[in-house]
């Protein structure tokens, strides 16, 4: 690193969001491109964010009866084929292992694109009695899908990190409750940890996970007006239970088919996070996910160096003892301006500036990363004050994103209005919909916007009486949007 030129973000979030995103990811040290197209290297600052997402979710999962397990990386072709029989339209583009050492394999092995087809047969084996249910398994792993698209770190990569939960239940009620529990936990992650307002909904029937009875989704809106499918939770009905013989003896010794669910969240969540909060100075992170929550920067002259640094070090130590993730930046070879820029680039939520004035007055100056708001506060009680300010930073990020979202859900009553509104503003357009996939086509063809969700509640009345496209009776409300 040889200077500010190299350090700073040069692209504009507003005018070239794609280039800006790529620059933030690389210059903030989150990820680099791997030599093979479609793959990335997740650097420590990026991986630390993923670990915090994991820790939050994993704790909630475990508190609600989920157990982690680990299934093989490879799935025999015949197992994938079996899934094909079950679920129409399942034809994953996968990476195939054909050779082990110097020998060709008798049967090709797929690098897992998702693990239903290897997990379900084992669930069948482990599920004998109603006492074995509910069975709730989860694994944190990487999956590979050989899609030929341009690489966009965390959004579009051939290999990505995720968790996949797979559960079996005695009946529909249990399985539906499970589906909702996980959807709610994903929503909680977005709200409480990532400072992003989630929309909860169902995917339209033609866009369900193959074989699912119902696919529920968390959608989050990006600043460029596109939506991101930010997590999904599927109620699979008995389709997998029947196909893979996941049956159990009930209390009367009668054999029944289990109802299953699956649910997943990938590192795409990180992509949505970066895209939502960051700006032309670089990364912006909510305090819950920031590797460093606070940086303390002492600003000294030769004649007051020792006392300024001691004061700053003492303050940092107090924050550290209180459980705040804090860094003291007392590097000699960098000036304060350089340090400010660097920590802004890295997304440290709160900066504490300590100069001779702060030392003299027993104070500290706090600067919020998202908006530069500055406040000078008492040194006494600094840990509580800093914690309050971190909460404020989270609240600001959330409020900003919520305000954006609220202005970006519009209504339309005709095909032209849908096209015009999304064309001009982006965001979501809701309208009456007859339920026919054909009515999505003209919108998709014209502006590549789709029905990204319908309301979670099946009984909710459609907002308009008629389908905005064909004019037939509306069955539900469709949310059209462009999608990542």
Question: Considering CB distances under 5 to 8 angstroms, the limit depending on partner class, which of Zn ion, a copy of itself, none binds residue 74?
Answer: a copy of itself
Q: Is there binding between residue 405 and Zn ion (CB under 5 A)?
A: no
Question: Considering CB distances under 5 to 8 angstroms, the limit depending on partner class, which of Zn ion, a copy of itself, none binds residue 469?
Answer: Zn ion
Given the rule CB under 5 A, which of 62-70, 93-101, 256-264, 438-446 is the region that contacts Zn ion?
Answer: 438-446
| HEC-encoded secondary structure of 450-464 | EEEEEECCCCCCCCC
Backbone angles phi, psi at 129, to 5 degrees: -120, 160
Question: Considering CB distances under 5 to 8 angstroms, the limit depending on partner class, which of a copy of itself, Zn ion, none binds residue 1?
Answer: a copy of itself
**Measured from the CB of residue 68, what is the shortest distance to a copy of itself in angstroms?**
5
Q: Is 361 exposed, middle or buried (0-12, 13-18, 19+ CB in 10 A)?
A: exposed
Which run of H or of E encompasses 382?
helix 382-407
Among 124, 434, 443, 481, indicate the residue that binds Zn ion (CB under 5 A).
434
Is the Cβ of residue 434 or residue 481 nearer to Zn ion in the bound state?
Answer: 434
- Asked if 276 and 196 touch (Cβ cutoff 8 Å), the reply is yes
Q: Is there binding between residue 478 and Zn ion (CB under 5 A)?
A: no
**Measured from the CB of residue 328, what is the shortest distance to a copy of itself in angstroms?**
16
Question: Considering CB distances under 5 to 8 angstroms, the limit depending on partner class, which of a copy of itself, Zn ion, none binds residue 235?
Answer: none
Within 13 A of 240's CA, how many CA atoms are on the CB side? 30
Angle between helices 268-277 and 382-407 (to 10 degrees): 90
In 138-162, which positions are buried (b, 16+ CB within 10 angstroms) versus exposed (e)?
Answer: bbeeebbbeeeeebbbbbbbbbbbb
Q: Is 18 exposed, middle or buried (0-12, 13-18, 19+ CB in 10 A)?
A: exposed
Over the Cα atoms of the chain, what is R_g?
25
Question: Considering CB distances under 5 to 8 angstroms, the limit depending on partner class, which of a copy of itself, Zn ion, none binds residue 458?
Answer: none
Q: How far is CA 119 from CA 80, 124, 145, 400, in A?
A: 11, 9, 18, 41
Q: Is there binding between residue 443 and Zn ion (CB under 5 A)?
A: no
Is the Cβ of residue 262 or residue 477 nearer to a copy of itself in the bound state?
Answer: 262
Closest alpha carbon to 289 in 182, 200, 397, 198: 397
**Measured from the CB of residue 322, what is the shortest distance to a copy of itself in angstroms?**
18
Backbone angles phi, psi at 401, to 5 degrees: -65, -35
**Measured from the CB of residue 284, what is the shortest distance to a copy of itself in angstroms?**
21
**Measured from the CB of residue 44, what is the shortest distance to a copy of itself in angstroms?**
4
Among 439, 449, 478, 481, indicate the residue that binds Zn ion (CB under 5 A).
439
Question: Considering CB distances under 5 to 8 angstroms, the limit depending on partner class, which of Zn ion, a copy of itself, none binds residue 68?
Answer: a copy of itself
**Measured from the CB of residue 448, what is the shortest distance to Zn ion in angstroms?**
19
Binding letters toward Zn ion, positions 449-468, x by CB under 5 A:
------------------x-
- For binding to a copy of itself (CB under 8 A), which residues are involved? 1, 32, 34-36, 39-44, 47-48, 50-51, 67-74, 76, 79, 93-102, 108-109, 111, 118, 121-122, 125-126, 128-129, 137, 141-142, 144, 146, 148, 158-159, 161
Question: Considering CB distances under 5 to 8 angstroms, the limit depending on partner class, which of Zn ion, a copy of itself, none binds residue 187?
Answer: none
Residue in the block written with tokens 């982006």: 426
- Asked if 159 and 278 touch (Cβ cutoff 8 Å), the reply is no
Q: Is there binding between residue 431 and Zn ion (CB under 5 A)?
A: no
């Amino acid at each position: 690193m040889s200077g500010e030129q190299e350090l700073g973000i040069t692209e504009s979030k507003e005018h070239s969001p794609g280039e800006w995103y790529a620059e933030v990811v690389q210059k903030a040290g989150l990820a680099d491109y791997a030599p093979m197209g479609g793959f990335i290297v997740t650097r420590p600052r990026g991986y630390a964010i993923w670990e915090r997402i994991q820790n939050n979710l994993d704790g909630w999962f475990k508190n609600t009866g989920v157990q982690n397990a680990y299934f093989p990386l490879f799935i025999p072709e015949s197992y994938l084929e079996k899934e094909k029989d079950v679920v129409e339209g399942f034809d994953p583009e996968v990476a195939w292992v054909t050779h082990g050492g110097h020998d060709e394999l008798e049967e090709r092995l797929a690098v897992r694109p998702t693990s239903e087809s290897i997990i379900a047969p084992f669930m069948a084996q482990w599920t004998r009695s109603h006492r074995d249910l509910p069975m709730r398994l989860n694994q944190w792993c990487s999956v590979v899908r050989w899609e030929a698209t341009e690489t966009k770190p965390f959004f579009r990569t051939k290999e990505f990190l995720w968790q996949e939960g797979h559960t079996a239940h005695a009946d529909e009620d249990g399985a539906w409750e499970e589906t909702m529990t996980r959807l709610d936990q994903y929503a909680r992650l977005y709200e409480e940890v990532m400072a992003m307002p989630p929309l909860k909904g169902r995917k339209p029937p033609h866009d369900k996970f193959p074989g699912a009875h119902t696919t529920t989704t968390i959608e989050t809106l990006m600043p460029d007006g596109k939506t991101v499918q930010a997590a999904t939770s599927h109620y699979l009905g008995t389709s997998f239970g029947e196909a893979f013989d996941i049956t159990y003896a009930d209390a009367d010794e009668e054999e029944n088919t289990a109802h299953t669910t699956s649910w997943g969240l990938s590192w795409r969540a990180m992509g949505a996070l970066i895209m939502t909060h960051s700006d032309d100075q670089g990364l912006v992170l909510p305090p819950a996910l920031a590797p460093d929550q606070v940086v303390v920067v002492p600003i000294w002259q030769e004649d007051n160096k020792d006392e300024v640094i001691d004061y700053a070090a003492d303050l940092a130590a107090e924050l550290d003892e209180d459980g705040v993730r804090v860094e003291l930046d007392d590097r000699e070879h960098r000036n304060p301006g350089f340090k400010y820029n660097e920590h802004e680039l890295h997304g440290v939520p709160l900066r504490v500036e300590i100069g001779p004035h702060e030392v003299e007055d027993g104070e500290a100056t706090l600067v919020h990363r998202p908006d530069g708001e500055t406040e000078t506060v008492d040194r006494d009680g600094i840990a509580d004050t800093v914690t309050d300010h971190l909460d404020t930073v989270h609240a600001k990020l959330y409020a900003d994103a919520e305000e954006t979202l609220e202005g970006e859900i519009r209504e339309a009553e005709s095909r032209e209005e849908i096209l015009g509104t999304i064309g001009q503003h982006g965001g979501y357009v809701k309208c009456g919909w007859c339920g026919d996939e054909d009515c999505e086509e003209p919108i998709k063809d014209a502006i590549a916007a789709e029905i990204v969700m319908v309301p979670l509640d099946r009984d909710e009345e459609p907002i308009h009486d008629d389908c905005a496209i064909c004019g037939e009776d509306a069955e539900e409300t469709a949310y059209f949007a462009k999608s990542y």
